């Protein structure tokens, strides 16, 4: 049985929110890039380069996740390295000047939805006096912040740490440690909740989190198994997290009564 945590560290995608996978070259983004480049790059080429760029960035994320202390690329680097390297220089310069708002547009998902049971679990944790922080890899954390605010959940978090803003990328333990420091709770007394064994469970273990909780998402099922990265508990959604919190609280109260 897990010990009651003093704080929660939670991943964004696959834990707090999820969305169907969207095409890597949304028509609105293709039109925006075409306008920024003065139509010097054909729309068909923009769509193809966005599609291949998304694949290349995903491969880079997987590769860098195997290194000891991965760090995130800047917004400008992502566009320059993965989408626009063969574009005319004036077009590349135009994209670089708008790299951050374009990263926001590429990150934002209109189909994002709060995962089942998450509001109940977060409110229960808040009522129990547990500070919470978001710890997430992302191209643009501002999009995640805005979603949580629009969903009426951002006030429940004492801090939000995103790789593009903080620098470290999970499984770099520094991202989790920064969040624990920000909320003033030792990492050893935090639960880390994520949906990726290779990123979240590995980060939790390396950071020394009190417990590593794996919440199942479509990405969880796509990842190859890793026998050395076993979570302390597996749950399906926010309802499962709420149940774990209730169980750990009951265990803590039972221990107090016996002493």
Tens digit of each residue's pLDDT, the chain (259 residues):
899 999 999 999 999 999 888 889 999 999 999 999 999 999 999 999 999 999 999 999 999 999 989 999 999 999 999 999 999 999 999 999 999 999 999 999 999 999 999 999 999 999 999 999 999 999 999 999 999 999 999 999 999 999 999 999 999 999 999 999 999 999 999 999 999 999 999 999 999 999 999 999 999 988 988 888 999 999 999 999 999 999 998 766 655 545 5
Distance CA 209, CA 114 (A): 25
- Of 191, 192, 142, 141, residue with least CA distance to 168: 141
**pLDDT value at residue 21:** 82
Residue 47 · residue 23 · CB < 8 Å? no
**pLDDT value at residue 1:** 82
**pLDDT value at residue 257:** 47
Chain position carrying tokens 């995608």: 13
Phi, psi (degrees; rounded to nearest 5) at 215:
-100, 125
Burial (CB count within 10 angstroms: exposed 0-12, middle 13-18, buried 19+), residue 111: exposed
Element (H, E) at 133: strand 132-136
Distance CA 214, CA 200 (A): 8
pTM for this one?
0.94
Residue 148 · residue 157 · CB < 8 Å? yes
**pLDDT value at residue 135:** 98
Whole-number Cα distances in Å, 50 to 34, 70, 95, 196? 12, 24, 13, 25
Q: Give every strand in the sheet of 211-215, ordered side by side.
A: 159-162, 132-136, 7-10, 190-194, 211-215, 233-235
- Structure-token pair, residue 212: 């590593």
Residue 11 · residue 195 · CB < 8 Å? yes
Label residues 196-223 b or e (16+ Cβ within 10 Å = b): bbbbbbbbbbbbebbbbbbbebebbeee
Element (H, E) at 114: strand 113-114
Q: Which residues pair with 17 in a beta bridge?
A: 13, 114
- DSSP, collapsed to helix, strand or coil, labels residue 8 as strand
- Structure-token pair, residue 248: 């750990």
Residue 192 · residue 207 · CB < 8 Å? yes
Distance CA 215, CA 206 (A): 19
The C-alpha torsion from 138 through 140 and 141 to 143, rounded to 10°, is: -120
Chain position carrying tokens 């805005």: 146
- Of 22, 25, 46, residue with least CA distance to 35: 46
């Amino acid at each position: 049985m897990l010990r009651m945590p003093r704080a929660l560290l939670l991943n964004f995608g696959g834990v707090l929110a999820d969305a169907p996978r969207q095409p890597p070259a949304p028509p609105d983004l293709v039109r925006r890039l075409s306008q920024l480049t003065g139509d010097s790059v054909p729309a068909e080429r923009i769509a193809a380069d966005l599609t291949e760029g998304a694949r290349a960035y995903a491969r880079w994320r997987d590769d860098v996740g195997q290194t000891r202390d991965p760090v995130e690329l800047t917004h400008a680097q992502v566009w320059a390295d993965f989408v626009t390297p063969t574009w005319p220089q004036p077009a590349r310069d135009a994209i670089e000047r708008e790299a951050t708002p374009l990263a926001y547009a590429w990150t934002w998902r209109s189909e994002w939805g709060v995962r089942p049971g998450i509001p109940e679990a977060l409110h229960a944790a808040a009522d129990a006096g547990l500070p919470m922080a978001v710890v997430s890899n992302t191209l643009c954390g501002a999009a995640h912040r805005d979603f949580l605010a629009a969903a009426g959940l951002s006030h429940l978090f004492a801090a939000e740490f995103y790789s593009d803003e903080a620098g470290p990328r999970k499984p770099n333990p520094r991202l989790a440690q920064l969040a624990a420091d920000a909320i003033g709770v030792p990492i050893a007394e935090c639960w880390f909740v994520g949906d990726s064994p290779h990123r979240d469970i590995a980060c939790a273990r390396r950071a020394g989190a009190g417990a590593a909780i794996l919440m199942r998402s479509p990405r969880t099922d796509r990842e190859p198994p890793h026998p050395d990265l076993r979570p302390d508990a597996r749950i399906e959604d926010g309802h499962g997290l709420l149940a774990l919190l209730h169980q750990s609280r009951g265990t803590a109260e039972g221990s107090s009564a016996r002493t």
